[in-house]
Amino acid sequence: MSQSRLRRLPQWQALQQHAASIGETHLRELFAADPQRGETFIAEDVGLYLDYSKQRVDADTLRLLRELAAACGLPQHTEAMFRGERINRTEDRAVLHVALRAPAGERIELDGHDVVADVHEVLERMAAFAEQVRGGSWLGHTGKRIRNVVSIGIGGSDLGPVMAYEALRDYSDRDMTFRFVSNVDGTDFVEAVHGLDAAETLFIVCSKTFTTLETLSNAQAARAWCIRALADEKAVAKHFVAVSTNAGEVAKFGIDTSHMFGFWDWVGGRYSMESAIGLSTMLAIGPDRFAEMLAGFHAMDVHFRHTPYERNLPVLMGLLGVWNNNFLDAASVAVLPYEQYLKRFPAYLQQLTMESNGKRVTLDGAAVDYATGPIYWGEPGTNGQHSFYQLIHQGTRIVPCDFIGFGQGLNPLGQQHDLLIANLLAQGEALAFGKTADEVRAEGTAEALVAHRTFEGNRPSSTILAHKLTPHVLGALIALYEHSVFVQGVIWGIDSFDQWGVELGKQLAKTTIAELTAKDEPVLAHDSSTNRLIRRYRQLRDAAAAGKP
């Protein structure tokens, strides 16, 4: 097989050669050679400070990566996205989440139509609705005010809203309860409505397509729960709103489209949390703070579009990711927020990064001969330190880490915030510099334990700091990752905005559901494993239903 266009690029080959020379250079040596790198390998804007000095790069690496970006047409692709060209080629769609956070009055045209005006029209409707609910003038069917909001959705129609609610909980209306339902496992719905008074509960059904099995199943369950509790079909009108691009399906479901908040096919599911999909966020924190979050997103968009690559935060993060992934063979990235309110941020990033860049063919359909999107995972610090950090420090795989921390915690408790950040900083330092066998011996360690207590170090990390977790900072942080995913997708030449990989499982499930629910033993035509698992499941289910062990 001949090499791909990317690997044939002189810039790629130069990086390969460079990796052979610098690849094994220890961070201790890099810091010794350039003691100021902690002050120069940094970039700062939009309230975010990025220290990438503990990445295994030098000035040449960064130059070569920038040259690769230029050779891959990153500036042109970026402009194409901002101009609304149909860069989601396999779905023939524009990719304009940047329009969702553009200020009123800015124009972004799609086929000659200004989409920013549409965005602000929906934002105004959302704000009016949010004020009614938060202010108590939107009354439920029995005349009670709404105190509980249950958002139903999955994937991009859930992960963003849940993450944002958790992240901004400190800014939320504490007199209201917010819950989220995504899984088709009935437990998710039942637990979400546990203890709620239907008369005070509003359901937001979020689905771009309004055809997603999980969401529609849960929405039907919610409808039945509401009608049962309020003993009137008409209750749906006051207790359900929809967020979708598909008015036809919303109406078919029984939600009046005057209670629907729209968005557009140029918003990808995983890029939609600041569209009407974020209605639960706006209900929680109010329209003004929602606007602050949008401003944070927008500030990062402007930074990404106009800042030279040397200081461009998403470009730097994206290119460092390519370096670690393709030249240092790191197959995963750990995202480690030292901020409890960001506990769902890694899960959110998993969809953003892995659904976007988990692709094996280029835009032209040619198989790639290089690694594309790495596996993202993580947990808030310090919890992870007492669980999986062992592998990051002493395992056989390189796991580049993104540490995220804030100057101020939102819940000051004695010295605990300083303790938290001391841990963040100590981890980055330990990963980079490790502890040599001689240092371990000098501590008086028995020889038999020296190897066990040695840390080789040279484990790369970046650290992102901001003053505190505000709606603005959250918006900027998310946009930082969005654009770094974009940068990587451009380098790898893939479509970062489709998700065909989720289709096959959905199709097969349709056949299987008929087989699981068939009254008589179905004739099965799967492989022997799946056939037997289906039979075993039917037996287990029927035995459980009959009360047998």
Interaction site with ligand F6P (CB under 6 A): 154-157, 207-209, 212, 215, 269-270, 355, 499, 502
Is 355 a catalytic site residue?
Answer: yes
Question: CB atoms < 10 A from the CB of 445, how many?
Answer: 16
Work out how close the CB of 277 gets to ligand F6P at its nearest, in angstroms, rounded to a whole number.
8
Provide Rg for the chain, Cα atoms: 25
Helix (H, G, I), strand (E, B) or coil at 146: coil
How many whole angstroms separate alpha carbon 169 and alpha carbon 161?
11
Residue 496 DSSP class? T
Q: Which two tokens stand for residue 408?
A: 């101020």
Alpha carbon distance 360, 375 (integer Å): 14
489 residue type, one letter? G
Smallest distance from the beta carbon of 245 to ligand F6P, in angstroms? 8
CB of 459 to ligand F6P, least distance (A): 33
Residue 251's Cβ-count burial label (10 Å; 0-12, 13-18, 19+) is middle
62 Ramachandran zone, left/alpha/beta (phi>0; psi -120 to 50)? alpha
Token couple for 48: 């975010």
* Residue 262 per-residue DSSP state: E
> Of 234, 306, 386, 519, which residue is the catalytic one?
386
* Cβ closest to ligand F6P, residue 131 vs residue 249: 249
Q: How far is the CB of 301 from ligand F6P (least distance, A)?
A: 21
End-to-end CA distance of the chain: 56
Q: Which of these, 340, 317, 380, 368, lies nearest to 469 by C-alpha position?
A: 340
Q: Which is nearer to ligand F6P, 156 or 161 (CB)?
A: 156
269 vs 460, which CB is nearer to ligand F6P?
269
Q: How far is the CB of 90 from ligand F6P (least distance, A)?
A: 13
Nearest distance in Å: CB 284, ligand F6P? 20
Query: Using CA of residue 454, residue 458, residue 462, residue 465, what is the dihedral sign?
Result: positive
* Cβ-proximal residue to ligand F6P, closest one: 269
* 160 neighbors 355 (Cβ within 8 angstroms): no
List the structure tokens of 281: 């966020």
Shortest CA distance to 51 belongs to which of 362, 339, 402? 402
The answer to whether residues 212 and 510 touch, using CB atoms and an 8 Å cutoff, is no
- Are the CB atoms for 509 and 99 separated by under 8 Å? no
- Cα separation, 405 vs 337, in Å, equals 6
Which of residues 273 and 477 has its CB atom nearest to ligand F6P in the complex? 273
The answer to whether the CB of 140 falls within 8 A of the CB of 148 is no
- Residue 239 appears among annotated catalytic residues: no
Q: Helix %, strand %, coil % for the chain, to 5? A: 55, 10, 35
* SS3 state at 405: strand
Residue 239: C-alpha distances to residues 151, 198, 223 (Å): 12, 8, 9
Active site residue 515: no
Determine how many CB atoms are found less than 10 A away from the CB of residue 419.
Answer: 11
Collapsing DSSP states into helix, strand and coil, what is residue 64? helix
- Smallest separation (angstroms) from ligand F6P to the CB of 246: 8
CB 278 within 8 A of CB 242: no
Among the listed residues 79, 456, 506, 521, the single catalytic one is 506
Identify which of residues 241 and 316 has a Cβ nearer to ligand F6P in the complex: 241
Count of residues in the chain = 549
Q: Mapped to the 3 state alphabet, what secondary structure does 39-51 carry?
A: HHCEEEECCEEEE
Strand segments, DSSP code E, in 153-268 are: 177-181, 201-206, 240-244, 260-262
Q: Could you list the active site residues?
A: 355, 386, 506
